[in-house]
Structure 1
Amino acid sequence: MKRALNFNAGPAALPEAVLQKAQGEWLNIEDTGMSVMELSHRSNTFDAIHSKSIALLKEIMDIPDNYEVLFLQGGASLQFTMVPMNLLQSDRKAYYVLTGSWSEKALKEAKKIGNTEIAASAKESNYTYIPAVEEIAYNPADAAYLHITTNNTIYGTQWKGYPQLENAPLIADMSSDILSKKIDVSKFGLIYAGAQKNLGPSGVTVVIIRKDLINSSLTNLPTMLQYETHAKSNSLYNTPPTLAIYLLSLVLEWVQDQGGVEKLEEMNTAKAKLIYDAIDNSEGFYKGHAVPDSRSHMNVTFTLPDDHATKQFLEQAKAAGFVGLNGHRSIGGCRASIYNAVPLSHCAELAEFMKKFKETYSASVVKS
């Protein structure tokens, strides 16, 4: 069967090797005579899968011992609420840097919980750039935390460096670029990420939280919305998304097989360069949404000369086997999401398609 050239923004491409291994174990995992979906989450077999997933993530990301790894549900969207519920004290303020729709949504939820303030924003440019670190304004005396979204799937922008804070934790939504490059986890108080981009399928959300931020005094919160509940129970307070965690473990094994995050970062840089070169060398036919120094290596966003050209591009791309190149409805145009599992060869094929389409479309316009 021919595999699609999958550039979906999420749920996104999974490594083919992961899918093949899962297929081989689909009906009988570890000689249990059952699928992983049929195992008790209290069984020794699933406990081993669960523990391996946590251990692999700690190893791959070099997570310090003073951090807890949690597997939760509800996606990053639930973390928009859980973060302020657990970390925003009544006498403190949460600061947010706005770089796109997801950071706006995170701020909207935090406002329902307590005092908030915008520390920096790129909204006036329709989110074409990441604000410079020196532009971020917050008061260390009253800051509960500073929240950023490290990669913006809709607008195609990505943080290249991160703020260094005094007396307040840095909170990061890394849903769309976790494991795509090397980071120093110790610079963050809490990292959260929905799995459906680089970690695995949708259904599980990873939270990496510094242990001193887990507050045992928040007994007024619903039990399931307290980080302590999940930390104390090793993320097994209730039935977890067992299939998603199993596939996460296979993705993490695949990351190791690729040579770790450093090798993936090299590959992601090469993949992004192929497509950005096709944009930059198109004599203005393609125009990137993001300014060059804020360009994402996960989501390449671009426009064509007009709606007709865009429609023709997407139709011909679909016919050629490409999937998921439509831009988000809020900004239009096109978007190629090139997460870890998207092969370099697929990006090369897309870059070549873009060059040929530009040539043929321009020639047809001249003739007409």
Structure 2
Amino acid sequence: MTLHPPRRVDTVWNFAAGPSRLPDAVLARAGDELFCRGADGAAAIERPFSGPAFRKVLDDARVHLAQLLDVPDNYRVLFLAGGAMHQFSAVPMNLLDPTRGLTRVAYADSGYWSRRAMQEASRYAQVAVVARHADEKPLSAPTAGDWHVPPDCAYCHITANETVDGLAYPEWPDTGDAPLVADATSCFLGAPLDVSRFGLIYASAQKNIGPAGMTVVIVREDLLRRPARAAPSPFCYRLQAASEGGVNTPPTLSIQLAGMVFEWIADCGGLTAIAAINRRKSDLLYRAIDSSGGFYTAPVAPGHRSVMNVRFHLADDRLIEHFLRDAEAAGLTHLRGHREVGGLRASLYNAMPLAGVAALADFMAEFQRRRG
């Protein structure tokens, strides 16, 4: 039998939910700056984190991020090792405050990752579920409005963008006196964000920030005064803020690459410009889904659909493997949906250009023509 090599495509587009595509300009710059040794005999990623060279990298990254988000002066920006799941535990360990009667925690159930966060929080405190997403289709995020958070809750947690479920909050809830805490991992830096609405925001890096292994935490300073007795030193926000992230060795490579990404976003025109591009990309893909006559379907209601993670299904599930195989042959990779929900998913983070989304939309139309 003669084996034919796979058809070559000029460009391969990576739609992975994370670790995800990095901007081409950042990859090129990283190649020039990170892996060449300087006069001190060390490459950028080999230098001690306590030395002046890395401290400048850290300070610059913090300043650039604060400028992008217009972070108020009474907040601290931390770059911590680990992923968002570390913060599922770190948040209750830091924010519970029995001395003030804050012994419970409040969560909104919006999908897969919010439930994972609740599961971890339940190790440390009783969880009050104050809002839930709609169970029927089309799916929607929990209704915002005025949530009644019990007075003994230390905070109220939301997952701003559900990567698995493909839904996002169209507006932020009113949680009263309870600080609003957000896992913003999959939407962070995809659009402007009013930091002042939150007591704490965290986002792991492998979506719009940089390589996996780091999480950004933006925390209001008054919350750093809570006792955090259960938090090990590397997990303690107060200690990390006091030491400028130096309680343990920080993820130096991730921080330096993140700083490059922050500068790239600024060069693109900032978050307002990035948001406009992201909206064009997601509109293009959702339009391809909605205009297919039911061949493709999006299970999330318009207005609640994620701009970053477009979840969709085929009317005939038997075609999924054919779709994935043909898509990969066409240079469109990592489109399989999460194992919990099945179907298909295209993640359109900042570094995915409009051309990649257009290529996917064209492929979907051609696949429907052949298989519909």
State how 1:105-124 maps to structure 2 within 5 Å.
105-122=116-133, 124=135
Which whole-Å deviations, capped at 9, do the CAs of 1:281-333 have from their partners, x for residues lacking one? Answer: 00000000211121000000000022221111111000001111001111111
- In structure 1, the residue matched to 2:153 is 143
- With normalisation by structure 2, the TM-score equals 0.93
Q: Decide which of 199, 206, 218 is 1:196's aligned counterpart.
A: 206
Cα–Cα, structure 1 residues 18 and 2, in superposed 2: closer, same or farther, change >3 Å? farther
Structure 1: give runs of 5+ residues left out of the alignment: 363-368
1:232 aligns to 2:242 (yes or no)? yes
> What residue in structure 2 maps to residue 37 of structure 1?
45
Residue deviations 1:230-263, cap 9 Å, x none?
0010001211111110100100010001000000
Counterparts of 1:290 and 1:135 in 2: how far apart (Å)?
23
Aligned to 1:214: 224
| Contact 1:30/1:45, CA 8 A, preserved across alignment | no
Retained in 2: the 8 A contact 1:27–1:33? no
How many pairs are equivalent? 361
Aligned to 1:290: 300
Correspondence for 2:110 among 75, 78, 99: 99
Q: CA deviation at 1:119?
A: 0.7
Partner of 1:133: 144
Q: Which runs of 5+ in 2 are unaligned?
A: 1-8
1:160-187 per-residue CA deviation (whole Å, 9 max, x = no partner) reads 2101232110000000000111111001
Helix, strand or coil: the match of 1:243? helix
Contact 1:99 1:127 in 2 (8 A): no
SS of residue matched to 1:125:
coil
Q: Hey, what's the Cα distance between the residues in 1 that align with 2:263 and 2:238?
A: 28
Q: Distance in 1 between matches of 2:35 and 2:188?
A: 31
Q: C-alpha distance in 2, partners of 1:278/1:361?
A: 16
Q: Which residue of 1 aligns with 2:6?
A: none
Which of 294, 303, 316 pairs up with 2:326? 316
Q: Note the C-alpha offset of 1:138.
A: 2.1
SS at match of 1:95: strand
SS at match of 1:144: strand
1:117 Cα deviation from its structure 2 partner: 0.6
Query: Identity of aligned pairs, percent?
Result: 42
Distance 1:353 1:75, change over 3 A: same
For the structure 1 residues 295 and 221, does the alpha-carbon distance in structure 2 shift closer, same or farther, using more than 3 Å as the test?
A: closer
Note the C-alpha offset of 1:122. Answer: 1.9
The 10-residue stretch of structure 1 (81-90 or 168-177) with the greater mean CA deviation from structure 2: 81-90
Alpha carbons 1:100, 1:123 under 8 Å: kept: no
AA matched with 1:82: A
In the alignment, the residues of structure 2 paired with residue 21 and residue 322 of structure 1 have an alpha-carbon distance, to the nearest angstrom, of 25
> Residue 333 of structure 1: which of 339, 343, 361 is its match?
343
Write the distance in 2 (CA, Å) between the matches of 1:2 and 1:192: 37
SS of aligned partner of 1:134: coil
**1:76 aligned onto 2:94:** no
Q: 2:15 is matched with which residue?
A: 7
Helix, strand or coil for the counterpart of 2:123? Answer: helix
1:123 offset after TM fit, Å? 6.5
* Residues in 2 aligned to 1:64 and 1:324: alpha-carbon distance in whole angstroms: 38
Residue 43 of structure 1, CA deviation: 1.6
Report whether the alignment pairs 1:24 with 2:32: yes
Deviation digits for residues 164-217 of structure 1 (CA, Å, limit 9, x no counterpart): 232110000000000111111001000000000001110110000000000363
Deviations 1:55-101 (A, max 9, x none): 00000000001000011112110111111111123433211001111
